[in-house]
Amino acid sequence: GILKSAIVETLGLNPENYRIFFRGREKEDGEDLLTAGIKNRSKVVLMGVLSSTGESPEEAKTSLRSKGTEAVSLVTEEVDKLSEQVSALECVVNGDTKLDDKDFIYLTEMLMRQLLKLDGIESEGEGRVQRKLQVSRVQGLIDKMDSIRSKNSNPVSDVQVQTSESIKWETF
């Protein structure tokens, strides 16, 4: 029963809709793994059955898809907020205001946390596509943060390059 619960909960399914089979025989929930002959690397079969609610394994898979899509949408909301903060930080740095590294570290850490959340989401179909798009988006924001941080560290070098280029241009 514990094995079945662990497998089914990991997949986000209802344990009542599934049975575990080992060597062609169904194993009861109260049966001990050792007594049943199940050891490390043993192969078990998880088979879905119709429940009293009528939920089939396919419906449960659809439920898993919707849970994945829902989880990605929650992360998307957080990424939207963080994206606004990145834009605000960029405006401040472009306005020649030097910021403390704490601001960059905090925001980068928050973006990395969103990546970890996305990495932990299991989804099928549309949810998987949305997840990939959000991963790319977050990685882009992290790259942008690195660029802004670099500009914040060396604001004078950009001005010097522009000035030296204009001097060269005038010389010709």
Nearest to 110 by CA among 150, 76, 149, 82: 82
Q: What is the mean pLDDT of residues 12-30?
A: 74
- Let me know how long the chain is: 172
Q: Residue 84, SS3?
A: helix
Same-domain check for residues 42 and 86: no
Is 169 among the domain residues? no
**pLDDT value at residue 126:** 79
**pLDDT value at residue 29:** 75
**pLDDT value at residue 110:** 93
Q: Is the pLDDT of residue 12 over 80?
A: no
Same-domain check for residues 79 and 97: yes
Same-domain check for residues 36 and 83: no
Same-domain check for residues 43 and 62: no
Same-domain check for residues 64 and 135: yes
Is 159 among the domain residues? no
Same-domain check for residues 15 and 86: no
Same-domain check for residues 62 and 120: yes
Same-domain check for residues 131 and 74: yes
Same-domain check for residues 38 and 84: no
**pLDDT value at residue 51:** 46
**pLDDT value at residue 158:** 47
Is 105 among the domain residues? yes
Same-domain check for residues 67 and 16: no
pLDDT in tens, 63-73: 555 777 888 88
Q: Give the CATH number of the domain where residue 91 resides.
A: 1.20.58.120
- Which residue bears the tokens 């049966």? 31
Same-domain check for residues 65 and 138: yes
Sheet holding 25-27, edge to edge: 25-27, 18-22, 45-48
In which band, very low, low, confident or very high, does the pLDDT at 19 lie, cut at 50, 70 and 90? confident
pLDDT in tens, 30-50: 777 777 777 787 787 777 765
- Rounded to 10 degrees, the C-alpha dihedral 43/48/49/51 comes to 130
Same-domain check for residues 69 and 145: yes
Domain that holds residue 71: 58-153
Is 23 among the domain residues? yes
Q: Give the CATH number of the domain where residue 19 resides.
A: 3.10.20.90
**pLDDT value at residue 65:** 59
Q: Are 72 and 123 in contact (CB under 8 A)?
A: yes
In which band, very low, low, confident or very high, does the pLDDT at 122 lie, cut at 50, 70 and 90? confident
CA distance 17 to 127: 24
Higher-confidence residue of 161 and 13: namely: 13
Task: List C-alpha distances in Å: 97 to 120, 152, 153.
Answer: 37, 8, 11
Q: Quote the number of domains for the chain.
A: 2
Higher-confidence residue of 24 and 93: namely: 93
Q: What is the mean pLDDT of residues 6-19?
A: 73
At 31, list the tokens: 């049966």
Characterize 23-48 residue by residue with b for buried, 16 or more Cβ atoms within 10 angstroms of its Cβ, and e for exposed.
Answer: eeeebeeeeeeeebebeeeeebeeeb
